[in-house]
Every structure is written in structure tokens, then in C-alpha cells.
Amino acid sequence: MAAIDPKKGIKMMMGSMIQWLYLWLIAVPFLGISTFLIGVPLTVLSFFGLGDWCSRTLAVLWARSNAFMLGMRVSIDGLQHLKEGQSYVLTANHLSQVDILLIYGFLPVEFKWVLKKELLAVPIIGAACAAMGHVVVDRSNSQAAVASIQAVSKRLQNGMCIMFFPEGTRGTAEGNLLPFKRGAFRLAADLQLPVLPMSISGTGRLLPTGSVKWQPGPVRLMIHPPIQTTDQLSSDVTTLMSQTEAAIRSGLTASAPETDVPISARG
């Protein structure tokens, strides 16, 4: 059994300590302060009909600044698959809480989130999301959830999209997918909107589900070609769901890229 180099062990311990101090003394306080300083005016402005503008500007600023503070090195592949002015049902795997920073900060489309009702209880964030018109669903009441999504469907035109995590909750590990729920795909089939699959890699290592262990590093958002629904019947939701799952799974990688690629700013 090889002996452990004491100097190397000390360096590793010091590195972990510095990383821990940075997280709790700088990054987490910055998250709280920025959420308050941006979230409060964002909520107020949204009540005056500026919710979409707030989503494009203030919320993006919040997401990007916190992604930077958490050491997220973002790369995006597949921007060429986005068509200007086209509305999509956006779908992605869900690995970590920081997936929200990745998508909100760096995906160059306008969209409304589909959020679980429990997020309304989060101070400032819950109020801001509701004020900006994001879709809040009660997972314990399927009829109410469907009604909430249908209420926003009339806005899904001229490039406005709707964002789902079809797994319904955060996954357990990089490269794995939980079973998909049908809501996103039924909506896409009903409205004949294309589904845009996206694969997220790296965020599960940066901040794993159910953990406060934090590791800065590269993350990737891979955008796949849209799946058209003009020839999909509402009764064929299972096929649409399977096609989307296969596309997302094809983009999951064991490790995120070590180098960045240019990122288009959200318009």
C-alpha cells in the first residue's frame, strides 16, 4: 500500500478549507444579497406589466452573476437549432439546483418555467416567479396542474417558450434519467409546438442533489434538433416522450467539457 505524501495531504486539506470558506463566506452570501437586491424590484416591476422585460434582463443578470460566483464554466452546443421567433416546449434533464442558473442565464430564448408549488414558499424567489408569470403547478392535484399549464398556453407564440423538467424532480447522478412525466408532451401535441430537447452535464458534480458539497468546474448545455409535432396526435404522447428522452440521453456525458465555447447572450 503506497504511503500518502504528507505535503500533498496538507495541500489538499488547505484547498478544501479555502473552497469551503469561499462558498459560505462569499458565494452563498452573494446569492442571498443578489436575490434580494434583484428579486424585490423585479417583483414590483412585474406587477406593472414588465414581467417579460424583467425575465430578459434582471433575472438573467441574477443567474449569470451567481453562476460566475459559483465557478460555473459554461459551454453551449447546438445554438444553430434555435429558430428566431419560434416557440418551443423546452425540455431538459434535471441534475442540480444550479440547472436554473444555467438555463435562465445562458439559453437565448424567452420562456416561462413550469415550477412546483412548493417553490412559492421560498422567500423573494417564489414571489418573483409568480409575478413574472411563470407557471406554478400543484403536483398533488393533476387537474389543477393541467389547468395552470393550459392558462399560459395562449402566450406560447412569437418566440415565447415554456420550460419543463420532464423528470419532475432532480435526478440522482450524472448520466442517469428518471422516468418522464407526460405533461410537457401532451401540451406540445395539443398545441402542435415543437419539443426542444436539451441535455445538461456537469451541474450534478458542481452541486449534487441533496448535498452542500460544492465543486466549481465546467458545465454543458447541449441543444438538440427540435422534434416536430405537426404530425403527432395527442394520443401519441408516448412516442413523442420516447423520442425526447432518447435525444436527451444521447447528449449526456460522463464529464463536461474542459474548455468553453462562445455563448450567445439572451435577447
CA angle 31, 254, 72 (to 5 degrees): 20
Binned at pLDDT 50, 70 and 90, residue 261 comes out as very low
Predicted confidence (pLDDT) per residue in 113-142, tens digit: 887 777 777 888 888 887 888 887 776 666
User: Terminus-to-terminus CA distance in the chain, angstroms?
Assistant: 57
pLDDT for the residue numbered 210: 72
135: nearest Cα among 122, 151, 157, 121? 151
Cell reading at 13:
486539506
The arithmetic mean of pLDDT across residues 210-215, rounded, is 78
Q: Kindly provide the b/e burial profile for residues 161-172, where b requires at least 16 CB atoms within 10 angstroms of the residue's own CB.
A: bbbbbbbbebbe
Chain centroid to CA 213: how far?
20
The answer, as to whether pTM is greater than 0.75, is: yes
3-class DSSP state of 196: strand
Dihedrals phi, psi of 200, to nearest 5 degrees: -105, 130
Dmax (CA) of the chain: 68
Flag the least confident range among 9-23, 38-52, 76-90: 9-23
Q: Which fold has domain 9-250?
A: Glycerol-3-phosphate (1)-acyltransferase (3.40.1130)
Q: Could you give the CA distance from residue 89 to residue 80 in angstroms, rounded to a whole number?
A: 17
pLDDT of residue 260: 46
Alpha helices in the chain (DSSP H): 6-22, 28-45, 51-56, 58-69, 99-106, 125-131, 142-153, 183-191, 203-206, 237-250
Domain ranges within the chain, ordered by starting residue: 9-250
Cell of 83: 429558430
Least trusted range by pLDDT, from 20-24, 153-157, 234-238: 234-238
The three grid cell numbers given for residue 3, joined into one nine-digit string: 504511503
* Distance from C-alpha of 33 to C-alpha of 107, rounded to nearest angstrom: 24
Q: How far apart are CA 56 and CA 93, in angstroms?
A: 23
Contact 109, 83 (CB under 8 A): no
Q: What is the pLDDT of residue 54?
A: 84
